C-alpha cells in the first residue's frame, strides 16, 4: 500500500487538488511510512529532494485526524532566514488542511506573539534560542502550550549536531519534552552527513521510540565541474562575470572580505550583483533575494549564509571562490543547481591561490568517492553546559542543584562530564559570584547578571558568541549592515574607507556610545579585515586527499589549462619529497619542512610535541606542514626527535599534556569563558587546538 493511502482524506485531496501532485517521491514514501508508524528518524535527501514534505505530510495527517490542544508540532531551523524562507510553503501546507502555522523568532512583533499565545497555531516554526526564550518568559504558559506537543522536526540537522548549537538544542528539547504528555517524536532533515546512525542516536535523546535512517538510493546525475586558476583578481572577476552573464548565479566566498571584493569587481563587469552575508542588514539581504528572483543576469555573492536550505529559486550556475573547507559544504552548494529537467548540477571554482586549486581537487574527488564528513558529538560541551545552568536558574526562578544535574546528565553532549566535576563547577561559580545558592536553589549571581542581564537577559539566550558590532548607517539613517568592533577600532573619522554591500563607504564619524558609524558613499574603498585571529583548521581526511592529488599522477578532466599546468609544476617540485600517506621531509637553507598533510589540529599537536622534546626550536604549523628553525637543527637531530614521537609512553604522559594545555593561548572561543573556571577554560581551548589521539595515530600510520 502506498503511504499516500494512509494519509487523512483531507490531506490526500489537498495534495492532488492544491499541489497537483500525482505521486510521492521515494524519500516521501519511505519517511511517511516510518513516521506514521511512530518512529524517530533522520531523513536524508539532496537539496530540493522533498525532505520537507517527507516530514510534514505525515505530521499534518495525524494532526488533521486528531487536532492538538495547543502546539502539536515544532519545526526548528538553525537560522531565522531559513524559517522565513520556509514560512510561505508551510503556511500553504497547513492552510490547505485547515490548520495554522506561526513563526516565532527575534523579529516577530509582540502583538503577533500575544495572539499566538491566546490561540496557538498547531505548527510552531522557531529557532532553538527563541524556544528557550519562551521557556523563560513570564508571559508564556509553557506547560499549557506544549502539553500536547507530539513531534519536533529539525531542519539542516547536520549544521548543528556536534556543535554548541546542537548541545543547546538537545538540552532545550529535553526541557520541552518534560512538558508534553507524549514521547515526542524527533525528526532530523539533512542533505549531507557521513554518519547518520550516530546523528539518529544523538537526536533520540531520552525518547523511547524506535529510530530509523531514511536514505533512499541516490540516482546518478550529470555534473559539470571546472577548476580554474586565476592569480590576477581582475582577470578572475572578468572570467567569473563571463560565466555569470545571462544566468542566475550564486558566487560562494570563504570570507566576508572576499565577498565584498568579488561583488565590487563583478559589478564593474556589468553583472547585476547582490551581496548576502551576515554583516549585511536584514533589509538589504531581503532586497537582494527579492531582486534576484526577478533577474536573469544576476548574481548573489555570498558566504555560507545561503548554503543552508534557503530557496532563491532556480539557479543556472554555482561559482566558488577558492574551495570550501568541507565536502558537505561543496555538496550543499552544488545542490542548488541541476533542478530543472535537462540541467546538470554544476560548480565552477575560481582559485587565486595554488592551494585553492589543490583543495578544490581534493573536495571534488572525495565527493566522487562518496565520502562526507562525520559529525562528531563532543560529550564534554562545557560552554553550553554552563549556559544551561544559567538558563535553568533564570527560567525557574532558581533551579535545585539535583534537578540541574538530573537534566544535564541525560544530554549526550554532556555525558562525559562527571558528577564530581559538576559539583566542583558549581562550587567555583558560587565562589566567583556567577551563581548564588539559596534554600537549595541555584540563582544567577551578580557577575552573571552584570554580564548577561542587559535587555532582559537577551544576551544570555544568544548562545553563540558574536563580537560586539557597530551599525553602519548613512547620514539619513539608512541601515547598511554591521562591522565588528575589532575593525571599527581601526577607523578614523573623515579619513577611513571600507567596503560593505559591495560598495565603498567613507567614514564621517564613529559614535562609540551608540555603537554606530555614520558614512557616505566614497568613490573607492579599501578592503576591510574581518574576524579574529583564531586559527582555522582543515580536517585530516581532506588534507590527506590533497596529498593524494599531489602524488598519484592522475589527470583530471575538469581542470582548466592553467590549473592543470600548476598541478604538474607542483608535482615536479615535490617529486622525491612527498610520498602517499606519509608526506615527506624537506631541508633547505637552515629550515626543515615536515610535510604531514595531517590537518590543522594534528599539526598543532605535533608542534607542541616537538617543542616538548626540543624547546630550542621554533615550530610553525599549518594544515599541511610544520616549519622548523633553530640552533643545532640538523636532519639527523630532527629524525631523532621524530623517532621519540613514535613512543606510546610519550603520548600517554598525561602530566606533559596537562602542562602543554596550561600554556596554550586563551583564544576566546565562547562568550561564556569569563564564567569558566581556569581548568575548564584550558580544556575547552585545548580541545579546539589539539588532537592528541589523532596525532598519535598519524605518527603510527605514517612512519612504517
**Residue 502: predicted pLDDT:** 60
Instruction: Report which DSSP code applies to 218.
Output: P
Q: If you ran DSSP here, which 8-state letter would residue 508 be given?
A: E
Residues 622, 626, 632: CA angle, nearest 5 degrees: 150
Longest dimension (CA), the chain: 82
Write the CATH number of the domain with boundaries 223-368.
Answer: 3.40.50.300
Contacts with 207 (C-beta within 8 Å, 6 or more apart), sequence order: 40, 177, 183, 184, 185, 186
223 pLDDT more than 50: yes
HSE toward the beta carbon, residue 522, CA cutoff 13 A: 22
Residue-level pLDDT at 425: 98
Q: What would the mean pLDDT of 552-581 be, rounded to a whole number?
A: 96
pLDDT band per the 50, 70, 90 thresholds, residue 270: confident
> What DSSP character marks residue 280?
B
CA dihedral 555, 561, 564, 566 (to 10 degrees): 170
Reported as a single tens digit per residue, the pLDDT across 345-401 is 999 999 999 999 999 999 999 999 999 999 999 999 999 999 999 999 988 789 999
Looking at the DSSP bridge assignments, the partners of residue 301 are 251, 275
Using the predicted structure, report yes or no on whether residue 509 has a pLDDT greater than 60: yes
pLDDT in tens, 72-94: 999 999 877 788 878 999 999 99
Every domain of the chain and the residues it spans: 3-214, 223-368, 382-461, 469-521, 576-702
Q: What is 329-389 written as a DSSP string?
A: HHHHHHTTS--STTPPEEEEEEESSHHHHHHHHHHHHHHHTT--PPPPP-S--HHHHHHHH
| 173-194 pLDDT, tens digit each | 999 999 999 999 999 999 878 8
Number of other residues whose CB lies within 10 A of the CB of residue 112: 12
Return the pLDDT at 397. 82
Region for 599 from its dihedrals, namely left if φ exceeds 0, alpha if ψ lies in -120 to 50, beta otherwise: left
The span from the CA of 214 to the CA of 44, in Å, is 6
Asked whether the predicted pLDDT for residue 307 surpasses 90, the reply is no
Q: Using CA atoms, how far apart are residues 507 and 473, in angstroms rounded to an integer?
A: 10
Q: Domain 382-461 classified CATH 3.10.20?
A: no
Give the pLDDT confidence score for residue 227 in this predicted structure: 98
pLDDT at 527 (0 to 100): 40
Q: Which CATH superfamily is domain 3-214 in?
A: P-loop containing nucleotide triphosphate hydrolases (3.40.50.300)
Q: Average pLDDT, stretch 298-322?
A: 74
pLDDT of residue 497: 76
Predicted local distance difference test score (pLDDT) of residue 465 = 45
pLDDT band at 532 (very low <50, low <70, confident <90, very high): very low
Minimum mean pLDDT range among 57-71, 160-174, 447-461: 447-461
How many angstroms separate the CA atoms of 147 and 555, rounded?
A: 61
Q: How many CB atoms lie within 10 A of CB 534?
A: 12
- Per-residue confidence band for 562, with pLDDT thresholds at 50, 70 and 90: very high
Q: Which run of H or of E encompasses 619?
A: strand 618-621
Find the range with the poorest average confidence among 60-69, 470-479, 677-686.
470-479
- Higher-pLDDT residue of 307 and 529 is 307
Give the model's confidence band at 464: pLDDT under 50 very low, under 70 low, under 90 confident, else very high. low
Q: Which of 291, 236, 285 is nearest to 264 (CA)?
A: 236
Strand pairing class (123-126; 40-44): unpaired
Fold equal for 3-214 and 382-461 = no
Residues with Cβ within 8 Å of residue 199, at least 6 apart in sequence: 42, 157, 158, 161, 188, 190, 193, 375
DSSP H helix total and E strand total for the chain: 28, 25
pLDDT at 407 over 60: yes
Determine the Cα–Cα distance for residues 354 and 402; give it in Å rounded to an integer: 56
> Is it the case that residue 529 has pLDDT exceeding 50?
no
Task: Determine contact, residues 577/641, Cβ cutoff 8 Å.
Answer: no
**What is the per-residue pLDDT across 21-56, written as a single tens digit (0 to 9) for each?**
999 999 999 999 999 999 999 999 887 789 999 999
The pLDDT of residue 339 is 74
Residue 308's pLDDT is: 58
Q: Are strands 625-629 and 618-621 parallel, antiparallel or unpaired?
A: antiparallel
pTM for this entry = 0.84
Nearest to 35 by CA among 197, 175, 209, 218: 209
The grid coordinates of residue 499 equal 567596503
Q: At what angle do helices 164-177 and 196-204 cross, to 10 degrees?
A: 40
Average model confidence (pLDDT) for the chain? 87
Amino acid at each position: 500500500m502506498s503511504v499516500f493511502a494512509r494519509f487523512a482524506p483531507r490531506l490526500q485531496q489537498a495534495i492532488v487538488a492544491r499541489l497537483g501532485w500525482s505521486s510521492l517521491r521515494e524519500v516521501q514514501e519511505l519517511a511517511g511510512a516510518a513516521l506514521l508508524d511512530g518512529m524517530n528518524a533522520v531523513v536524508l535527501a539532496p537539496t530540493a529532494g522533498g525532505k520537507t514534505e517527507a516530514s510534514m505530510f505525515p505530521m499534518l495527517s495525524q494532526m488533521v485526524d486528531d487536532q492538538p490542544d495547543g502546539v502539536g508540532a515544532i519545526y526548528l531551523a538553525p537560522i531565522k532566514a531559513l524559517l522565513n524562507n520556509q514560512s510561505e510553503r508551510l503556511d500553504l501546507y497547513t492552510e490547505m488542511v485547515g490548520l495554522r502555522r506561526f513563526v516565532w523568532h527575534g523579529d516577530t512583533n509582540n502583538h503577533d506573539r500575544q495572539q499566538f499565545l491566546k490561540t496557538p497555531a498547531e505548527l510552531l516554526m522557531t529557532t532553538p534560542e527563541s524556544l528557550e526564550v519562551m521557556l523563560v518568559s513570564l508571559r508564556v504558559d509553557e506547560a499549557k502550550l506544549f502539553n500536547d506537543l507530539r513531534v519536533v522536526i529539525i531542519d539542516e540537522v547536520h549544521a548543528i549536531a556536534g556543535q554548541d548549537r546542537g548541545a543547546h538544542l538537545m538540552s532545550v528539547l529535553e526541557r520541552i519534552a518534560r512538558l508534553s504528555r507524549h514521547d515526542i517524536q524527533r525528526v532530523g532533515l539533512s542533505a549531507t552527513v557521513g554518519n547518520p546512525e550516530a546523528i539518529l542516536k544523538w537526536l533520540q535523546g531520552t525518547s523511547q521510540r524506535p529510530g530509523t535512517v531514511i536514505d533512499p538510493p541516490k540516482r546518478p546525475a550529470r555534473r559539470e565541474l571546472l577548476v580554474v586558476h586565476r592569480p590576477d583578481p581582475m582577470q578572475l572577476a572578468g572570467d567569473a562575470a563571463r560565466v555569470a552573464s545571462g544566468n542566475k548565479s550564486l558566487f560562494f566566498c570563504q570570507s566576508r572580505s572576499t565577498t565584498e571584493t568579488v561583488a565590487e569587481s563583478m559589478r564593474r563587469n556589468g553583472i547585476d550583483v547582490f551581496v548576502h552575508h551576515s554583516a549585511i542588514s536584514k533589509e538589504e539581504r531581503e532586497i537582494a533575494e527579492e531582486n534576484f528572483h526577478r533577474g536573469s543576469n544576476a548574481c548573489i555573492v555570498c558566504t555560507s549564509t545561503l548554503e543552508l536550505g534557503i530557496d532563491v529559486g532556480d539557479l543556472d550556475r554555482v561559482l566558488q571562490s577558492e574551495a570550501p573547507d568541507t565536502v558537505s559544504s561543496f555538496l550543499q552548494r552544488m545542490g542548488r543547481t541541476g533542478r530543472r529537467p535537462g540541467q546538470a548540477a554544476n560548480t565552477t571554482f575560481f582559485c587565486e591561490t595554488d592551494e585553492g586549486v589543490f583543495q578544490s581537487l581534493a573536495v571534488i574527488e572525495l565527493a566522487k568517492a562518496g565520502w562526507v564528513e562525520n559529525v562528531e558529538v563532543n560529550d564534554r560541551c562545557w560552554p553550553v553546559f554552563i549556559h544551561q545552568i544559567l538558563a535553568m536558574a533564570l527560567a525557574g526562578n532558581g533551579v535545585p542543584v539535583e534537578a540541574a544535574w538530573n537534566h544535564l546528565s541525560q544530554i549526550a553532549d554532556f555525558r562525559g562530564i562527571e558528577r564530581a566535576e559538576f559539583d566542583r563547577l558549581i562550587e567555583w561559580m558560587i565562589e566567583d559570584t556567577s551563581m548564588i545558592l539559596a534554600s537549595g536553589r541555584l540563582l544567577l549571581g551578580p557577575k552573571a547578571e552584570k554580564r548577561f542581564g542587559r535587555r532582559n537577559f537577551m544576551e544570555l539566550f544568544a548562545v553563540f558568541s558574536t563580537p560586539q558590532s557597530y551599525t553602519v548607517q548613512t547620514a539619513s539613517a539608512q541601515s547598511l549592515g554591521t562591522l565588528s568592533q575589532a575593525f571599527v577600532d581601526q577607523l578614523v573619522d573623515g579619513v577611513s574607507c571600507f567596503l560593505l554591500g559591495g560598495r565603498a563607504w567613507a567614514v564621517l564619524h564613529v559614535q562609540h556610545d551608540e555603537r554606530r558609524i555614520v558614512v557616505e558613499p566614497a568613490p573607492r574603498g579599501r578592503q576591510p579585515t574581518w574576524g579574529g585571529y583564531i586559527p582555522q583548521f582543515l580536517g585530516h581526511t581532506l588534507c590527506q586527499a590533497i596529498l593524494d592529488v599531489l602524488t598519484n599522477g592522475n589527470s583530471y578532466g575538469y581542470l582548466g589549462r592553467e590549473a592543470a599546468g600548476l598541478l604538474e609544476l607542483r608535482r615536479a617540485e615535490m617529486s622525491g619529497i612527498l610520498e602517499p600517506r606519509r608526506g615527506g621531509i624537506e631541508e633547505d637553507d637552515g629550515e626543515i619542512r615536515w610535510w604531514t598533510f595531517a590537518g590543522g589540529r594534528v599539526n598543532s599537536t605535533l608542534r607542541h610535541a616537538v617543542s616538548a622534546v626540543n624547546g630550542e626550536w621554533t615550530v610553525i604549523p599549518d594544515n599541511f606542514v610544520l616549519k622548523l628553525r633553530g640552533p643545532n637543527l640538523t636532519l639527523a637531530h630532527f629524525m631523532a626527535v621524530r623517532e621519540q614521537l613514535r613512543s606510546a609512553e610519550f603520548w600517554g604522559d598525561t602530566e606533559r599534556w596537562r602542562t602543554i594545555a596550561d600554556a596554550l593561548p586563551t583564544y576566546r572561543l565562547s562568550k561564556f569563558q569569563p564564567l569558566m573556571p581556569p581548568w575548564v577554560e584550558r580544556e575547552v581551548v585545548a580541545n579546539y587546538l589539539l588532537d592528541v589521539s589523532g596525532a598519535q595515530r598519524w605518527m603510527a600510520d605514517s612512519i612504517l
